[in-house]
A and B are shown apart, each in its own frame.
Chain A
Amino acid sequence: MSNWFMLNLIGNDQSGIVAQVTNALYKGGCHLGETSMMRLGGNFTMMMMTSLDGTETDLEKIVKPVAEKLELHVHIDSIEGRLHQHVEPNVRVTVFGADRAGIVAQVTGVLSESGMNILDLESDVGGTEDKPIYIMYMEGLAEDGIEALRTALEALRTEGIDVDVEEIETLIG
């Protein structure tokens, strides 16, 4: 019987991480579902829905050799699979401005109060070391409509944060 796990691996970025880890999983009889793998700063992070005909301990055994070799931290949680249940976003919000403490909390707080359920968020720090800028990209479901979000975010502009709200009208053809 096949079980789903959320497998998290984090460590210093180095060439070949993805190939080595996924190869070990494949050879151990694991299947991958939805995953997110990316470099954050100098670290490489992998979050993988992994299914296996076995237990958490079995998965640990499969991952251990490669994780030790690459010096990756491993964390495993048992989860429900729930593939093929994508929720379609209807709004895309991009936010950017001079980086300062609390910008993410402030923006997401406003979005949450005005009915946005965030499905996906990626943020980055650009600019220079003395003048960093913060860039946030989100997709979500605006449960009270797009206009409610626009109005709520308008207040942030006066604080020097640039906000762009765009409706996502998915075309199925």
Chain B
Amino acid sequence: MPLLEILKYPDERLKQISNEVVVFDDVLRSFITDLEEAMRAGPGGVGIAAPQVARFERIVIVDVSGKPKIKHNGCMILVNPEITEWEGYKIGREGCMSVPDYTGNVMRAEKIKLEALDEHGIKREFECEGYEARAVQHEIDHLDGLLFLDRLVSRKKDLFRRKVYKK
């Protein structure tokens, strides 16, 4: 199977809202394998969402375990993910495989809890923080047709807001 092609902004399809997955079969699992391959082939390669490869279903993969010194849940396959709790805010820099050669600062919740189904339709719960929580929020945004460009904050805001939230 050739590598899945990544849609690039301004492709209108990236703004589409993806549908819930209802059938958990080998077709789905085979797609998830291909999706993971596309993620690993990309620069950074810590997360991907199905709509980035033109499949408009609520499926994301996040794996930040390759980054040193951070908390993580290993490779997370998240089908129909729902964030159930948010805590704290932090600015961080993001880029996207669908937006080459541009990065910017984005505000995200620092800690989240989420529920999702795995590739067999079994319910899973995760707690994420920091870089991993950021990756999950970035990918779930793709399912709702949002890019990090929709959430850019200026550097000056960063300077002042950060102090407010610092503990």
The answer to whether A137 and B93 touch across the interface, beta carbons within 8 angstroms, is no
The answer to whether A122 and B93 touch across the interface, beta carbons within 8 angstroms, is no
- Given contacts A86-B101, A86-B102, whether A170 and B94 have CB atoms under 8 Å apart is yes
The answer to whether A171 and B159 touch across the interface, beta carbons within 8 angstroms, is no
Residue from the list A94, A137, A168, A173 in contact with B44, Cβ < 8 A:
A173
The answer to whether A173 and B159 touch across the interface, beta carbons within 8 angstroms, is no
- The smallest beta-carbon distance between B96 and chain A, in angstroms, is 6
Across the two chains, which residue of chain B brings its CB closest to A86?
B101
Across the two chains, which residue of chain B brings its CB closest to A89?
B93
Across the two chains, which residue of chain B brings its CB closest to A172?
B44
Residue from the list B42, B92, B138, B139 in contact with A169, Cβ < 8 A:
B92
Taken residue by residue from 49 to 75, chain B's Cβ proximity to chain A (1 for < 8 Å, 0 otherwise) reads as: 100000000000010000100000000
Interface size range on B against A: 20 to 34
- The smallest beta-carbon distance between B72 and chain A, in angstroms, is 13
Q: Which A residues between 76 and 104 are near B, CB-CB below 8 angstroms? A: 84, 86, 88-89, 94
Across the two chains, which residue of chain A brings its CB closest to B95?
A172
- The smallest beta-carbon distance between B106 and chain A, in angstroms, is 9
A169 to B67, CA, bound (A): 10
Contacts of A120 in B (CB 8 A): 155
Residue from the list A86, A94, A173 in contact with B48, Cβ < 8 A:
A173
Interface size range on A against B: 10 to 19
Q: A122, A135, A137, A172: which has the most chain B beta carbons within 10 Å?
A: A172
The answer to whether A86 and B67 touch across the interface, beta carbons within 8 angstroms, is no
A162 to B76, CA, bound (A): 40
The binding surface of chain B is classed by DSSP as mixed
The answer to whether B155 and A171 touch across the interface, beta carbons within 8 angstroms, is no
- Given contacts A169-B93, A172-B96, whether A94 and B46 have CB atoms under 8 Å apart is no
Across the two chains, which residue of chain A brings its CB closest to B93?
A170
A139 to B45, CA, bound (A): 23
Residue from the list A84, A135, A168 in contact with B93, Cβ < 8 A:
A168
The answer to whether B159 and A135 touch across the interface, beta carbons within 8 angstroms, is yes
Contacts of A135 in B (CB 8 A): 159
Taken residue by residue from 144 to 173, chain A's Cβ proximity to chain B (1 for < 8 Å, 0 otherwise) reads as: 000000000000000000000000111111
Contacts of B95 in A (CB 8 A): 170-173
Residue from the list B43, B62, B156, B159 in contact with A172, Cβ < 8 A:
B43
Contacts of B94 in A (CB 8 A): 170-173
Taken residue by residue from 24 to 57, chain B's Cβ proximity to chain A (1 for < 8 Å, 0 otherwise) reads as: 0000000000000000001111111100000000
Across the two chains, which residue of chain A brings its CB closest to B101?
A84
| With A172-B43, A173-B95, A173-B135 already in contact, 20 other A-B pairs whose C-beta atoms are closer than 8 Å | A86-B101, A89-B93, A135-B159, A137-B155, A139-B155, A169-B67, A169-B92, A169-B93, A169-B131, A170-B44, A170-B94, A170-B103, A171-B44, A171-B92, A171-B93, A171-B131, A172-B42, A172-B95, A172-B96, A173-B44
